[in-house]
Amino acid sequence: MKNMEPSNYTSVGNWKKDYPSFEDFAEESLNQNSSYKKMLHLIGENKRVIDFGCATGYLAKLLNQKGCIVTGVDINPDAAKVAEEYCDQVVVADLDFVSITERLPKEEFDVAIFGDVLEHLRNPWRILEETKSLLKSDGYVVASIPNIAHGAVRLALLQGRFEYEQFGILDNTHLRFFTRDTVEELFDKSGYLVEAVERTKHPIFFESTAIPKVNINDFKPEILQEVETSSEAETLQFVIRAFPQPLTAKNAVLSQRCSQLSVQLKQTQAELERTQRQLHDTQLKVESLQLQLHDTQTELARLQLQLHDTQTELARLQLQLHDTQTELTQAKTMITAMESSKFWQLRTQWLNLKNFLKIKKQD
């Protein structure tokens, strides 16, 4: 088994790949984003386990602590020798050229582990098919597989780069590359039903040997938006649990899925019809509101015209009032002028004298 990113690793023998040092490898030291942590959870306790790619037995050591009995399989004889301390037995074999069922003809296991192994094989489909004969009736496979559709790989490809590294998604010993869909296809074609899928995550622009290095400033915002929001953009590994499925059981599962899809389709159709009715009612309401709006706009135009006429009449009256006030002012001026003239004073005195004589005559 090879981890996606080395940290405190030691070399064993003349092999190029490194393995975790036992001093730093403990379950309590693993974070929740670790593929080992997720695999331990999916494996469970008190199981009889075959660990393909057991390396130096560091995972077997943790499984021992959970009551598991482990048979290890590894291509590296030096690592296998170290693993013997933690494994019930260790088989040194190149899975591309050796039939594991021939090496372990009478063995049965609860769990078969493929921790970052299947992508290193020429024919992982054959290995998975063979593994079914090693599993008990309720046995299953737990595997971690790198995600080639990680956002950093996608962006590097946009720049024309696909550069192998010693570790990570583009490990230089990887022979196969998988996405979420092709992982399921791998197990489906090998006769398994994927029951659980977990993920380890890794930010696209976090510098690490596990993913290609890309610079966020090298890409247009719309490209970043497309990649960053795409499915599985930050998924580093898929960690899955899969059960062997006989053809009849697989057909039953597919039949059940078809039935579920049929029910979902009917529900969707009913929901669509309900939505269409709501849409029809809404359209009627919209048409009614549009008619009311048209009537309101017509009434508003009438009132605006009436207001214009009223304003025109008001302006005419204000002009007439202004003319009247002007004439009144002129009349007052004339009266004032007449009252101040000698003729007007003599007329006033004459009228006063005439009234006085009239009063005397009456007396």
**For position 14, what pLDDT does the model report?**
42
Residue-wise pLDDT tens digits, 93-118: 999 999 999 999 889 999 999 999 99
User: Which of the 8 DSSP states describes residue 70?
Assistant: E
This prediction's pTM: 0.66
Report the percentage of the chain scoring pLDDT > 70. 91
**For position 124, what pLDDT does the model report?**
97
Tens-digit pLDDT string for the chain (363 aa)? 455 654 444 444 444 455 655 566 788 888 999 999 999 999 999 999 999 999 999 999 999 999 999 999 999 999 999 999 999 999 999 999 999 999 998 899 999 999 999 999 999 999 999 999 999 999 999 999 999 999 999 999 999 999 999 989 999 999 999 999 999 999 999 999 999 999 999 999 998 999 999 999 999 999 999 999 999 999 999 999 999 987 555 566 567 778 888 888 888 898 899 989 999 998 999 999 999 999 999 999 999 999 999 999 999 999 999 988 998 888 888 888 777 777 777 877 888 888 888 887 876
Give me the sheet containing 89-92, strands edge to edge. 89-92, 69-74, 48-52, 109-115, 135-146, 235-244, 192-201
Q: Cβ distance 227 to 154 under 8 Å? A: yes
CA dihedral (314, 320, 321, 322) positive or negative: positive
User: Which among 146, 91, 101 is positioned nearest to 128, based on CA atoms?
Assistant: 101
CA dihedral (48, 72, 143, 45) positive or negative: positive
**For position 94, what pLDDT does the model report?**
95
Q: Nearest 5 degrees, angle CA 72-CA 75-CA 78?
A: 85
**For position 21, what pLDDT does the model report?**
58
Distance between CA atoms of residues 278 and 333, nearest Å: 79
In order of 25, 62, 102, 167, 253, the CA distances from 30 in angstroms are 8, 11, 35, 19, 35
Q: Cβ distance 131 to 68 under 8 Å? A: no
User: Which among 170, 148, 151 is positioned nearest to 216, based on CA atoms?
Assistant: 151
* Residue 60: other Cβ atoms inside 10 A: 27
- Provide φ and ψ at 161, rounded to 5°: -115, 130
Distance between CA atoms of residues 132 and 144, nearest Å: 18
**For position 27, what pLDDT does the model report?**
85
Q: Nearest 5 degrees, angle CA 120-CA 122-CA 126?
A: 110
Per-residue tokens: 46: 């008190």
